[in-house]
Amino acid sequence: MKACVRQTMAFPAFPASVLWTLGSLTILWASVQSNVVMEDDPFQPVTTDETVSVGGTVTLTCRVMESDNSSLQWSNTAQQTLYFGDKRALRDNRIQLHRSTPTELSITIADVQLSDDGDYTCSIFTKPIRTARATVTVLGVPGKPQILTNNEAVQEGGTVTLICSSSGGKPAAKLRWYKDKTELTGSTETVQADPNERTFTVRSELQLPVTRGDNKAVVACTVDHPSLTGGDETTEEELSVLYSPIVHIEPETNLPREGAKFYLQCIGDGNPDPSSFLWEKKDGSLPSLVKADGSFLRFEQLNKSDNGVYLCQVDNGIGTGLADYALLVQDSADSAADPTAMSTSSGVDHAVIGGVVAVIVFILLCLLIVLGRYLIRHKGTYLTHEAKGSDDAPDADTAIINAEGGHSGADDKKEYFI
């Protein structure tokens, strides 16, 4: 029999970079071979997937239930070793050791970039080598939305086209439209990928019919994205709607008096503001002492002949509007000059006056009755005194003499009392 001779070969000393590459390949092969992992394996590393926005910080944690003094290792998406136990393997100042124990290895990656997105591997060098993966999802933060319009006003009854876009989002952002905090529907959205940046640009177009009530209304475009945890980014645009004027006439006072100065003002609400005012008097020409001054119609001295209906027509280039005012000049000596006030309060005033007059008449009647009774009573007393001394008179002349206080009667009464 031939003797079996075991020949030992001496491996040359490889540079550290070569050893790092060989170790990474070994980990990759081990992860491929470990398709089935027993849940009750105390040496099986456990990781969790993480989501982080660009510029943020993510923490990767790898744990095992038990340790046989084998070291834990973290590798990046390119299978480059980041940390082997508490030893740094890759010179990247963004990556720092968070915690290293026999059963846990945690690292942090600061200022995360889109290139950090992918699967990270945690390995433990037991026999066999055990691995676990953690997927890091890096969210691209979309930029502030931009509303693209030509800033031209749209006439009422027309349609305004609004375009909103936002770029830099990963995944693609969702654009939403609002008017006065009410969400608008019917927009069309397109998404364009940027393969170099691995981000997306979103563009939304909205066709919005408008009325005069939409003038100066605020329309907002909002970006909806999971990376915007502090609130959605919003851009607002104020609508400009052109419409013909609505006209009304305001008088200086509701009590135009004869001989006084007076004016009417024509007010037109339109977009743009009215630029032309035309004053007329219905069924006649303007009086000689009346002057049209733009939106004002001025009366230098009111006269009853100024009574009538005055018309104001305005034009703002989009359309025209018309309003009228009926002027009724009041008599300057009329204290109750406002006919409107008279018509609304005359019923109440007449009732009050009638009540007062009735009370006064009743009081006067009572006074007359009391006074009459008093006079009658005093008249009887007077007649009684006047007739004293006439009862025993033999004739009328003697009775008169006695009633007038004749001396004979007085002497008799004096004698009687004596």
The predicted pLDDT at position 398 comes to: 57
Per-residue pLDDT tens for 83-108?
Answer: 999 999 988 999 999 999 999 999 99
The predicted pLDDT at position 345 comes to: 41
**In which band, very low, low, confident or very high, does the pLDDT at 250 lie, cut at 50, 70 and 90?**
very high
Pick the range with the lowest mean pLDDT from 206-210, 369-373, 396-400.
396-400
The predicted pLDDT at position 75 comes to: 96
315 CB contacts (<8 Å, ≥6 apart)? 245, 274, 275, 276, 278
Per-residue pLDDT tens for 159-189?
Answer: 999 999 999 999 999 999 999 889 999 999 9
User: Above 70 in pLDDT, residue 39?
Assistant: no
**In which band, very low, low, confident or very high, does the pLDDT at 359 lie, cut at 50, 70 and 90?**
confident
pTM, two decimals, is 0.61
Q: What is the mean pLDDT of residues 7-23?
A: 39
Q: Which residue has the higher pLDDT, 302 or 31?
A: 302
Pairing, β 154-155 against β 241-251? parallel
The proportion of the chain whose per-residue pLDDT surpasses 90, expressed as a percent, equals: 60
The predicted pLDDT at position 218 comes to: 93
**In which band, very low, low, confident or very high, does the pLDDT at 356 lie, cut at 50, 70 and 90?**
confident
Q: What is the mean pLDDT of residues 276-280?
A: 95
**Which of 3.40.50.670, 3.90.550.10, 2.60.40.10, 2.60.40.650 is the CATH number of 17-139?**
2.60.40.10
User: Above 90 in pLDDT, residue 409?
Assistant: no
The predicted pLDDT at position 352 comes to: 74
**In which band, very low, low, confident or very high, does the pLDDT at 376 lie, cut at 50, 70 and 90?**
confident
The predicted pLDDT at position 153 comes to: 87
Per-residue pLDDT tens for 112-147?
Answer: 999 999 999 999 988 889 999 999 999 999 999 999
Per-residue pLDDT tens for 40-61?
Answer: 789 999 999 999 999 999 999 9
38 neighbors 53 (Cβ within 8 angstroms): no
Pick the range with the lowest mean pLDDT from 259-263, 329-333, 394-398.
394-398
* CATH level 3 topology of 244-327: Immunoglobulin-like (2.60.40)
Q: Is 85 left (phi over 0), alpha (psi -120 to 50) or beta?
A: left
Domain 146-239 has CATH 3.40.190.10: no
Per the prediction, the chain carries an average pLDDT of 81
